Homo-oligomer: A and B are copies of this chain.
Amino acid sequence: MVQLGLVGLGKMGFNMRERLRAAGHEVVGYDRNAEVSDVGTLADLVASLEAPRIVWVMVPAGEATRATVAELGELLSEGDLVIDGGNSRFTDDTHNAAVLAEHGVGYLDVGVSGGVWGKDNGYGLMAGGSEADVERAMPIFDALRPEGPRDEGFAHAGGVGAGHYAKMVHNGIEYGLMQAYAEGFELLEASDVVQNVPGVIKAWQRGTVVRSWLLDLLIRALEEDPQLSELEGYVEDSGEGRWTLEEAINNSVPAPVISAALFARFASRQEDSSAMRAVAALRNQFGGHSVKSVSK
């Protein structure tokens, strides 16, 4: 059993603390929200751990993670280890590792997949960093990952940054998968040939080529709301799809499906589209085609 500090007890961190404790590990959690926090400050958390310490950071990617890592660099000691399990951009990892290295503190970046289901199912994990640091954190990884063979739920992806890179690509794929199901659903809804759309999708669950966990979730959503009529077709994105596309550009990799999925999200959030106003204007200009004017 190992001892672990866990910074960030939101939707993901809170559940991970539960899962780690259930596996018998000692977890000291810190969150700005005192109701869920085990200690009062980040310094208290560090003080409550025996060296050499392991601190898992699970706070929002970007500024919050960078600031937490910097603060941990000041608080921790040589030989300690920080693990960033958030959805950081892989380009942050080199920086974070360097900040910590100045204090002799090690660094692992870990992509964590599984969402709210991970507490019970376990989390898919992709780690970046040195072999020694990965080995050291393995009891934690083994507790967090799903049951079954280790290599079916955990990978050491490569050096620093590789864990978040793998998670970024994972999420880019996820965008494409979701959009593929979504287009099929819309076509089934739009056509009147299939009269039993939720039934058809439910029947894809066993035996078919398209069966997947995302399909199971779609079926679950359709069981609650067979036409998804309670929802708006408005979809946020949290960054990984954009980064995947930028990496595709940087590596000259065609990514038509992932980009289409991302653009569909962008479009879903637009009340009106400047681009389509321009197309409407052009059609009106050359063909005298009627246009819809804004109601006054």
Listed in ascending order, the chain A residues whose CB lies under 8 Å from chain B are: 11, 90, 113-118, 121-126, 145-148, 151-159, 161-162, 165-166, 169-191, 193-196, 199-200, 202-215, 217-218, 220-222, 225, 227-236, 242, 244-270, 272-289, 291-294
B172 x A187 contact (CB < 8 A): yes
Q: Pick 28 A–B contacts, CB within 8 A, sort by A.
A: A114-B209, A124-B206, A124-B208, A145-B206, A166-B200, A176-B177, A176-B257, A177-B181, A178-B278, A187-B247, A210-B214, A214-B282, A217-B281, A221-B284, A221-B285, A228-B278, A231-B280, A231-B291, A231-B293, A232-B272, A234-B280, A254-B263, A254-B266, A255-B263, A257-B264, A259-B263, A264-B279, A265-B279
Contacts of A153 in B (CB 8 A): 203, 205-208
If A170-B209, A177-B177, A287-B115 touch, whether A196 touches B155 (CB-CB below 8 Å) is: yes
If A155-B202, A264-B276, A285-B217 touch, whether A293 touches B178 (CB-CB below 8 Å) is: no
B255 x A183 contact (CB < 8 A): yes
B282 x A232 contact (CB < 8 A): no
Copies in the complex: 4
The 7 closest A-B pairs by CB, nearest first: A176-B180, A212-B212, A233-B276, A124-B208, A155-B203, A158-B195, A256-B260
CA A188 to CA B173, docked complex, whole Å = 11
If A179-B279, A180-B173, A279-B182 touch, whether A152 touches B118 (CB-CB below 8 Å) is: no
A272 x B155 contact (CB < 8 A): no
If A158-B195, A195-B158 touch, whether A235 touches B202 (CB-CB below 8 Å) is: no
* Least distance between A153 CB and chain B CB atoms (Å): 4
* Chain A interface SS verdict (over half): helix
Given contacts A161-B193, A212-B215, A231-B284, 12 further A-B contacts (CB under 8 A): A123-B207, A124-B206, A126-B203, A156-B199, A158-B195, A162-B196, A173-B181, A177-B181, A179-B257, A232-B294, A246-B249, A254-B270
* Least distance between A203 CB and chain B CB atoms (Å): 3
If A193-B162, A228-B281 touch, whether A286 touches B235 (CB-CB below 8 Å) is: no
Contacts of A260 in B (CB 8 A): 256-257, 260
